[in-house]
Structure 1
Amino acid sequence: MTLIISWIGVDDKKDGKEISSIYIASDSRYTWGNAGKFDYGIKVFGSTKHPEIFGFCGDVLFPSTILGQIIPQIDNGILLNDDDNLNEKNNKVFDFIKSSLSTYPKDFLGNSFTILHASRFKKEFKLFKTSYDGNKGIKNEEITLPKESTRVFSGGSGKSEFDTNCQKWEDEKHNNYRTSRAVYHCLTETLKEIKDPRTGGLPQIVGLYRIENMRLFGIVEDAKKYIYGKQSTEDINSRSIEWRNENFERVNPDTLKILEGAQRQPS
């Protein structure tokens, strides 16, 4: 069933605190009961043309199929308009999910799923959650975002282990208290020690900043590069995306060392 999380980064501005970034991250494991696992499954998505990112947990086939339909329609200017506000954009996304679900064969749908949708309009960010329960049906709601850097959502079968591990980073005495890197530290450590057999593999992350659209992050772990959980052994154009190490520091993909000018972070 997986682990999915979301967190925000907040900056101090002269007019007060403002959200500067939002991230959705997940593990990379797909499972089929006890029959098998696949640790290269895509669980986070984003638009390269509009400031929209997504992630899911729970049932795999329906959310991955629907997001695979939504993203191209956003990228091609079909589903959303440039002047749609945050609620209008999410309402259109939810209507698409709901109408698709109404025709989906229920015998092939898992008991539950959650789809996160983070969006930006001008300088404002919002996070929405669409959840389905076999007994209660489907619903959509906004997740309130505070004015401090912190995790704002965790879900899936790995949630309890992740939440327990995060307690040490949420101690005011910790070096990384109230930082976005603290949430990522917790994610990487949880995945290394996870007991839940349905959660595993390397982390995968998409994010939104104040400018531009979805950012896909490559992961550097043990001097190796990974994208969506899969090691990048092919001859790829590594410089086309950002790369982060386990401290969430920006990394040069050629040398696998901290990027020149990047701030080192306490562990």
Structure 2
Amino acid sequence: MTLIVAWIGVDDKKTGKEVSSLYIASDSRYSIGQRDKFDYGIKVFGSSKYPEIFGFCGDVLFPSIVLGQIIPQIDSGILLNENDNCEQKTNKIFNFIKTSLENYPSSFLGGSFTILHGTRFEKIFKLFKISYFKNKGLNMEEIPLGNISTKTYSDGSGAKEFDENWSKIWDNHRHNDYRTSRAVYHCLTKTLDEIKDPYTGGLSQIIGLYRIKNSRLFGVVNNNNKYIYGKLSSEDINSESIEWRNENFERFDPDTLKIIEGAQRQPLQEATP
């Protein structure tokens, strides 16, 4: 099933509080039953040409196939137009998923699934959920983002453990990271370190949107090793082409494996009693 989480970062502006960033993160496990697993599965996706990010949980095959079709068509300028607002974009994506599902063999579906779509038009961020259940069919709804830095959505078989950690520790006004975007990532990494759900595992993977440019894939630094989509990056890769974060959500230099000079250190502490 997996664990998927979305959250926002909010800044104080002269005109009031404004969403400045939107993130979707997941674990990296694909599983068949409780014994067979693959901890390098891609569960978050982003467009390099448009401000669109995606993540999924539940059935693996259909969401990974359909998102693998959607992203290239977005990047090629086929599916979306630059003047489409958030609602127009997600409606086009929903209809693409709907027609694909109508032609998909029902025997291939392993169960229900949820696809998150994060998008931005001008300075407006929005998050939509497209869900399929056998008895309800395919449905879409908008997930309210609010105006504080916090978790906006969690789902999957690992969500129960995540939500328990979130409510007990990080969603507590006594915590140093209360109502910060980094608190959600702290909670995610702690949950994955201690997860009991056999269908959730591997390292985190993150995709994000800021006020400018398009999707941003983040590399993960864990125990002085670099990972992308849960896989150890031992190959000779161009590490500087993406942004890297450690378990505290601090910006890391991928060459020195040290916090970037000038980057704010983030405390990783639990709430006081």
Q: TM-score range by the shorter chain?
A: over 0.9
Give the TM-score normalised by the residue count of structure 1.
0.99
> Counterpart of 2:38?
38
- SS of equivalent to 2:170: coil
Task: Output the amino acid matched with 2:124.
Answer: E
Tell me the alpha carbon deviations over residues 199-242 of structure 1, each in whole angstroms, 9 at most, x when there is no partner: 00000000000000000000000000000000000000000000
Does 2:56 correspond to 1:59? no
Task: Output the amino acid matched with 1:244.
Answer: R
Tell me the alpha carbon deviations over residues 100-152 of structure 1, each in whole angstroms, 9 at most, x when there is no partner: 00010001102200000000000000000000001111100000110000000
Does 2:177 correspond to 1:176? yes
Give the TM-score normalised by the residue count of structure 2.
0.97
> Counterpart of 1:151?
151
Task: Output the amino acid matched with 1:76.
Answer: S
Q: What is the root-mean-square deviation of aligned Cα atoms in Å?
A: 0.5
Task: Output the amino acid matched with 1:181.
Answer: R
Tell me the alpha carbon deviations over residues 69-120 of structure 1, each in whole angstroms, 9 at most, x when there is no partner: 0000000000000000000000000000001000100011022000000000
For residue 35 of structure 1, report the CA deviation from its aligned partner: 4.2
> Counterpart of 2:244?
243
Counterpart-to-counterpart distance in 1, 2:179 and 2:35? 40
Q: How does 1:118-157 map to 2 (within 5 A)?
A: 118-157=118-157
Counterpart-to-counterpart distance in 1, 2:159 and 2:148? 21
- SS of equivalent to 1:9: strand
Counterpart-to-counterpart distance in 1, 2:18 and 2:165? 27
> Counterpart of 1:108?
108
> Counterpart of 2:205?
204
> Counterpart of 1:85?
85
Task: Output the amino acid matched with 1:9.
Answer: G
> Counterpart of 1:73?
73
For residue 33 of structure 1, report the CA deviation from its aligned partner: 1.1
- SS of equivalent to 1:206: strand
Task: Output the amino acid matched with 1:183.
Answer: V
Counterpart-to-counterpart distance in 2, 1:101 and 1:252? 42
For residue 266 of structure 1, report the CA deviation from its aligned partner: 1.2
Which ranges of 4 or more aligned residues in structure 1 deviate by more than 3 Å? none
> Counterpart of 1:10?
10
For residue 188 of structure 1, report the CA deviation from its aligned partner: 0.2
Counterpart-to-counterpart distance in 2, 1:173 and 1:190? 20
- SS of equivalent to 1:251: strand
Task: Output the amino acid matched with 2:261.
Answer: E
Structure 2 gap ranges (5+): 269-273
Task: Output the amino acid matched with 2:114.
Answer: T
- SS of equivalent to 1:182: helix
Counterpart-to-counterpart distance in 2, 1:89 and 1:21? 19
Task: Output the amino acid matched with 2:226.
Answer: K
Task: Output the amino acid matched with 1:28.
Answer: S
Counterpart-to-counterpart distance in 2, 1:34 and 1:217? 29
Seq. identity, %: 71
> Counterpart of 2:271?
none
Task: Output the amino acid matched with 1:18.
Answer: E
Counterpart-to-counterpart distance in 2, 1:20 and 1:187? 21
Task: Output the amino acid matched with 2:255.
Answer: D
- SS of equivalent to 1:219: strand
For residue 34 of structure 1, report the CA deviation from its aligned partner: 2.9
Counterpart-to-counterpart distance in 1, 2:252 and 2:212? 21
Q: How many corresponding residue pairs?
A: 267
